Amino acid sequence: MGIKNPINAEGTYFLTLTVVDWVDIFTRPVYKNIIVDSLKYCQKNKGLELFAWVLMTNHLHLIARTREGHHLSDFLRDFKKFTSKQISSAINDEPESRKDWMIHRLKFHVNFDETRNYQVWKEGNEAKEIHSNDFLDQKINYIHQNPVEAGIVYEPENYIYSSAIDYVGGKGFLEIVFP
């Protein structure tokens, strides 16, 4: 899995993970919950610390780092591999009106790799190191405004698959580290 920008082990990063062909997988709770549950697991077991996050219909934004003794690149590799398997299984097992079309799109991107049946995430990761408080604030705002810009909600804190609620005193699905 290639990375456009190498990841420094001690850095905090703005990350974008995108579904192949921008397929709108994350429109149903079953698929969204795979992502949330996997992020929770990584927070507890893989040293993942999140500053902000949002799960949109076809991509995931995170501002993240890992605790000492863990590596963000390892998290990304394992997270993408595990969630790809879980999402592919769910598409096959759950009632899904788009099943044939989705499976076709996910199989198309395997590129004759016999170790995989489906590819959910695009190769590589868009990783931008957070280099200043202004850049961090800009990316947190960008993440939280995504559902507003997409016309899903009027206020960022009303979108439950995001950390925006945490920034206004509420409690979201995942633990957040505040800058």
Whether 31 has a pLDDT exceeding 70, the answer reads yes
| Domains observed in the chain | 13-168 (3.30.70.1290)
Euclidean distance between CA atoms 81 and 88, whole angstroms = 11
At CA 13, angle to CA 77 and CA 73, rounded to 5?
Answer: 20
Average pLDDT value over all residues in the chain: 90
Q: Which pLDDT band holds residue 4 (cuts at 50, 70, 90)?
A: low
Between 153 and 9, the more confident residue is 153
pLDDT in tens, 143-168: 999 999 999 999 999 999 999 999 99
Euclidean distance between CA atoms 169 and 112, whole angstroms = 48
Q: Which pLDDT band holds residue 2 (cuts at 50, 70, 90)?
A: very low
pLDDT in tens, 89-129: 999 888 888 888 888 888 876 765 555 577 899 988 789 99
Euclidean distance between CA atoms 177 and 104, whole angstroms = 39
At CA 169, angle to CA 16 and CA 140, rounded to 5?
Answer: 25
- Cut 0.85: pTM above it: yes
